[in-house]
Amino acid sequence: MESRPFLVAGRPRDAVEAFEVRSPWDEAIVARVARPGPGDVEDALREAHGAREAMRRLPAWRRAEILANVARRLEDEPDRWAETVVRESGKPWTAARGEVDRAASTLRASAAEATRDPGEIVPLDAAPGGEGRLGILRRFPLGVVACITPFNFPLNLVAHKIGPAVAAGCPFVLKPASKTPSSALDLAQAFVDAGTPPGAVSVLPLAGEAATALATDARVRVLSFTGSPEVGWDLKRRAVRQRVVLELGGNAGVMVDRGADLERAAARCVAGAFGQAGQSCVSVQRIYVHRDAFEPFLERLLARVRTLVVGDPMRPETQVGPLVTLSDARRVAAWIDEARASGARVLAGGSRRGAIVEPTVITGTRPELRICAREVFGPVAVVEPVGSAAEGIAAVDASEFGLQAGIFTPDLATALEAYESIEAGAVLVNEVPTWRSDPMPYGGTKGSGVGREGPRWAIEDYTEPRLLVLNR
């Protein structure tokens, strides 16, 4: 199998070194991709830095047209794009098709934002000495954006980085996950084909310190990173001259109040906990249920878990596929065993077959266990009873992470209390924290990161205000 080239300034480039991309399902080699070196990073940064003026001067209608054209490429061949996602990430086919649709939607939202100018008139005569002066405030592109994306949404999270960059008029250099590089390479090529200035488009599947060198280079004005907290916070410490946007995951909590629609709550918690094998930053991990509703909720939850179809991600009926690597599956299984050894009860699942971890429900845990305190990133949900809604809200908030949280309740006052008390980027009422609309502001607090995604909000991070003062 020949190695696939990466992109430097819109042009394919090969290298002596290459790495293999393997299917999480059967370990088959699905691609060989050339590995960039330091010289390739330097060339990409130099070209991106040089493309700033061309991108800034690209008219808004043209940026919107490019984004719409790329979105159409996804919409015209959704199965081809989905197959790449499935083969490289192990995501079930239905979820992969959904990701293609979402990526197209993200790009169309970016196209709409490209033609909106959020400028404003500033009344400078509000202070003495400002008489006769008028201020006009507009936002201008900051410059080169370094984007780093993870494996779990290899197409849509790339769209969330580079769509707003193009909409804002910024060149980008993208480092996709080495486990899932092909979607990013295909999407970037579509941007080149649609007419994006070539120097503004580079995709470098780097490893280790080479990625750090890219992110912290002085020519990079914005670093947008989605991935592990350890790597993200380390990059923020090093990227002292860049504006930094981090989305670092969580261990999302849900509160189910008495009087809630238990059928809906159970159905949504199963979808939120076990969709794409729990490999989502907002996957449902901790569920706290009012004691009065605990047994009937648990009965409904377990009944749905037992019907989940586990197996080959290419089969349309599969709902839970493999974890992205065997080592990840072993780690999740070890956390389950640790909880079991501490006295927790495994109510469903709990076993592993290769990279497949059975959908697992656990109760009787302690907050300090890794299965509760850390991000499991696997198909595991902890379910515990609480004595009151207030206790459940406090339990959801008792986490070092704060990405999204959910509460199922019929009571408006309880919903508002959750919104005001839970320190998270979003609190969803009668919905699980796994739900996301791509145009919405998405991001977290505490250990979950800084900044927001969603095209409008990302464009704010990729641009800076500039004031024009007119004097009579």
CB atoms within 10 A of CB 60: 15
In this structure, the chain runs to a length of 472
Beta-bridged to residue 107, according to DSSP, are none
Are 81 and 88 within 8 A, CB to CB? no
Other Cβ atoms less than 10 A from the Cβ of 257: the count is 25
Q: Is 158 helix (H, G, I), strand (E, B) or coil?
A: helix
H/E element holding 197? Answer: none
Between vectors from CA 23 to CA 318 and to CA 33, what angle results, nearest 5°?
A: 145
Retrieve residue 57's tokens. Answer: 């001067």
Question: Which residue in 170, 281, 375, 460 is the catalytic one?
Answer: 281
Q: Strand (E) positions, 227-359?
A: 243-247, 253-256, 286-290, 345-348, 352-353, 356-357
Q: Where are the beta strands (DSSP E) in 229-339?
A: 243-247, 253-256, 286-290
What sign for the dihedral angle of Cα 95, 100, 103, 108?
A: negative
Distance, in Å, from the CA atom of 267 to the CA atom of 446, rounded to the nearest integer, reads 29
147 among known catalytic residues: no
Of 88, 99, 247, 375, catalytic: 247
For this structure, is 281 an active site residue? Answer: yes
**Structural element, H or E, at residue 31:** strand 29-34
Where in the sequence numbering do the catalytic residues fall?
247, 281
